[in-house]
Structure 1
Amino acid sequence: MSAHNPMPRSAWIFPALAVLLFAAVSATGYVFTLSLGGLVFAIVLLVILFGTVFAAVHHAEVIAERVGEPYGTLVLTLSVTIIEVALITTIMLGDKPAPELARDTVFAVVMIVCNGLVGLCIFIGGLRYREQGFQLSGANVYLSVLFALATITLIMPNYTTTTPGPVYSAVQLGFVDVVTLALYAVFLYTQTVLHKDYFVHERAEGEGGEAHPSAGALALTVGLLLVSLLAVVLLAKKFSLVVDAVAARIGAPPAFAGLLVALLILMPEGVSAIAAARKNDLQKSINLALGSSLATIGLTIPAVGIATYAFDKELELGLSAQGSVLLLLTFFLSMLTFGTGRTNVLFGLVHMVVFAVYVFMVFVP
């Protein structure tokens, strides 16, 4: 069947507006300032940027539905990660040094996804269906790789002796980039080739399949996805100026920028995960959530590491003692939550409480 729902207008309008906005700003040489005109520009920029991110995720979801699981969530996850790398790299390489941004954003993604998003999905699913099931073997694969990558990139830099923490030396960072990419590549091979069945749970009874788009519609969707991703990359620099100005005006803590970037890039993916939980497809929610965490560490850290090395920038990776405690708590809690293959409301609530503690500690450390 090639029948499919018509493409929403926002799926092509926002990418077009993003490209036009970038062209207009570049042609006029506009410089953002904290003024009435700057406020209007910031609002327009954020609306278009959010809309373009949602458009990119919509196109990724259409492609994902066509290729099926587990490839589908992989397409969506990689698309979001490209946006994340573009935003982080652009802000870090800006005029104002931000060596801790990559660490703060990656940590924020892990906390938002593994506590906020996972908790909300489990809580909503528990309220609606009492219990929900998922593939225990798949969750274990996700968690084992996630724990290893997070420890190597976010905790280990505090305990090296070649250079004072929380940074890796150039050689150490190069080695970590290589092993991180290698581990993530083997995970992808496991997910898509060796053990695809680990990441696909039986659909809820009565839930039918989606109609697939035609070949022409699919080609258009792929093109618009590429345009959307390019538009986000082009506007990332302008977004970084707004973030810096707002953070300076309100006196926000250093981790605020990382939290804001993480919320921006995860919002549309979070909507997809919550919608899947409401449809009693917790497996898809887990694939999206834990897959985002893995892609964030497995791809963002190496990409940012290469960029900082090429442009001679400093990269701080080690978490504070407080952040390390929250990360370890998340590890232990995740092991319990995903240890039986069944979830309920209480598991979700505990994760959301830990997320609330994280957000509170960002502003009141």
Structure 2
Amino acid sequence: MIVGLRSVAARWTAVVPVAAVVLLALTWGRAVPGAVVAVITFVLAASVLAAVHHAEVVAHRVGEPFGSLVLAVAVTIIEVGLIVALMADGGAKSASLARDTVFAAVMITCNGVVGLCLLVASLRHGIAVFNPEGTGAALATVATLATLSLVLPTFTTSKPGPEFSSPQLTFAALSSLVLYGLFVATQTVRHRDYFLPITRQGEVIHADDHAEAPSARTAAVSLGLLGLALVGVVGLAKGVSPTIESGVAAAGMPQAVVGVVIALLVLLPETIAALRSARRDRVQTSLNLALGSALASIGLTIPAVALASVWLPGPLVLGLGPVHMVLLALTVVVSSLTVVPGRATPLQGGVHLVVFAAYLELAVNP
């Protein structure tokens, strides 16, 4: 029976990514009726689950923290491609698209995903434990990149408005790449143990379980299917965006809500994978996914849009407004206080979720 269920799971997780890409090719750039939107939504949800499955297969083969890194970087690279494509087609109205997407990713991961994982792990296991050295290093890098890329443009004077001048944008892009590269080297080479799950006695767990790791061939196939599934997730999320836009407009909400909804859809694979790790008491893996996604979003998006700004016709607005800067500062302070002890109760998870709820409320009612 168990073998049969595994066989069925293996088949549908192989078929869904291919079906998602085919559906994306058939609907890309076309107006679709309501019935097709329903089909897209169903395939999108199935693609998210398939992506989580294949990410876990790859993670089991390569081990932590490489598994978390694969999922975070893969989804971000595809998302960056989508952002640049939308900016090229959107003209002046897409000037703040990169800023809004990156900030949404930071708030979703650092408050929404982190809060959910801490709450689930602490309610299920009494207390959530993680390594403060690795988590603190990731948080410090997120805070630095977010400040350099999203806060400083509001206060610079070389260009009017919340924009960087060309030399400033070049510096921000290079800084993002350097810091992200240093973080990846720290996470995977020099101090890998800082990013591995730990026991309640502080001992590092070098393997998630005792199950036999998949073969190299199986992992390679899953890696390819993971890429297809993520292309399907991001592309189909863009495909349903007109429907989302219509619903947002009908509800009288700001246009920025559309970006938040799409970001939530795009980050679903990482969110589900992080929650599953939290349920297994692997909180460090959950935090690797959450903070790693925030880091990849800034560290890869800013250099990409800086390069694309050479040929993009409109301005590139990166600076946050006062309300979002307050939320970012609150996120950094709360996250720092959460990380320092290396353990968390449901209270810490609840605090992060309240900050995330405040972000969503102010997105709907600015």
Same fold, TM exceeding 0.5? yes
1:101 aligns with 2:63: no
- Residue 303 of structure 2 corresponds to 302
Relative to structure 1, the CA distance from residue 218 to residue 248 in structure 2 (aligned partners, 3 Å threshold; closer, same or farther) is: same
Q: Are 1:78 and 2:73 an aligned pair? A: yes
Q: Which one-letter code corresponds to 1:102 in the other structure?
A: A
Identity, % of aligned positions:
44
Q: 2:284: which partner in 1?
A: 283
- Is 1:201 the counterpart of 2:219? The answer is no
Q: Does 1:123 align with 2:119?
A: yes
- Hey, what's the Cα distance between the residues in 2 that align with 1:288 and 1:169? 33
Runs of 4+ with >6 A deviation: 204-207
Q: Distance in 2 between matches of 1:213 and 1:274?
A: 22
CA displacement 1:167-191 (0-9 Å, x = unmatched): 1122321221111111100111111
- Structure 1 residue corresponding to 2:44, chosen from 44, 49, 74: 49
Which whole-Å deviations, capped at 9, do the CAs of 1:33-55 have from their partners, x for residues lacking one? Answer: xxxx6222222223323433442
Q: How many residues align?
A: 356
Cα separation, 2, equivalents of 1:254 and 1:168: 24
1:19 aligns with 2:14: no
Q: Residues of 1 paired with 2:236 and 2:186: CA distance?
A: 35
Cα distance change on mapping 1:334 and 1:234 into 2, 3 Å: closer
- Name the residue aligned to 1:256: 257
Match of 1:113 among 91, 109, 113: 109
List per-residue Cα deviations over 1:285-336 (Å, max 9, x = no partner): 1111111111111112222232233323322111110000010001000110
Partner of 1:8: 10
Q: Does 1:345 align with 2:341?
A: no
Partner of 1:335: 336
Amino acid at match of 1:323: H
Alpha-carbon spacing, 1:55–1:93, altered in 2? closer, same or farther (3 Å)? farther
1:145-184 equivalence runs, <5 A: 145-184=141-180
Partners of 2:130 and 2:197 within 8 A in 1: yes
Q: 1:54 to 1:84 in 2, by over 3 A?
A: farther
**Which of 56, 59, 63 matches 1:68?**
63
Query: How far apart, CA to CA, are the structure 2 residues paired with 1:334 and 1:58?
Result: 29
Take 1:113 and 1:130, find their aligned partners in 2: how far apart are those partners? 23
CA spacing shift, 1:197–1:215, aligned 2, 3 Å: closer
Letter in 2 for 1:112: I
With over 3 angstroms needed to count, the CA separation of the structure-2 counterparts of 1:85 and 1:189, relative to structure 1, is same
- Alignment map for 1:187-198 (pairs within 5 Å): 187-198=183-194
Q: Which amino acid aligns with 2:104?
A: A
How far residue 120 of structure 1 moved from its aligned partner, in angstroms, is 1.4
CA distance in structure 2 between the aligned counterparts of 1:179 and 1:125, rounded to whole angstroms: 35
What is the deviation of 1:282?
0.8
Q: What is the rounded CA distance, in whole Å, between the counterparts of 2:193 and 2:308 in structure 1?
A: 36
Q: Which moved more, 1:251-260 or 1:47-56?
A: 47-56
Aligned counterpart, 2:268: 267
Name the residue aligned to 1:31.
30
TM-score, normalising length from structure 2?
0.89
Q: 1:138 aligns with which of 117, 134, 138?
A: 134
Q: Is the 8 A contact 2:244 2:258 kept in 1?
A: yes
1:362 aligns with 2:351: no
Kept in 2: contact 1:90–1:240 (CA 8 A): no
- Report the Cα distance in structure 1 between the residues aligned to 2:119 and 2:237, rounded to whole angstroms: 34
Does the 8 Å CA contact 1:103/1:317 hold for their aligned counterparts? Answer: yes
Q: Distance in 2 between matches of 1:319 and 1:233?
A: 25
Aligned partner letter, 1:16? V
Measured after TM superposition, the shift of residue 244 of structure 1 is: 4.3
TM-score, length of structure 1 as denominator length: 0.89
Preserved contact between residue 57 and residue 80 of structure 1 (Cα < 8 Å): no
With over 3 angstroms needed to count, the CA separation of the structure-2 counterparts of 1:48 and 1:304, relative to structure 1, is: farther
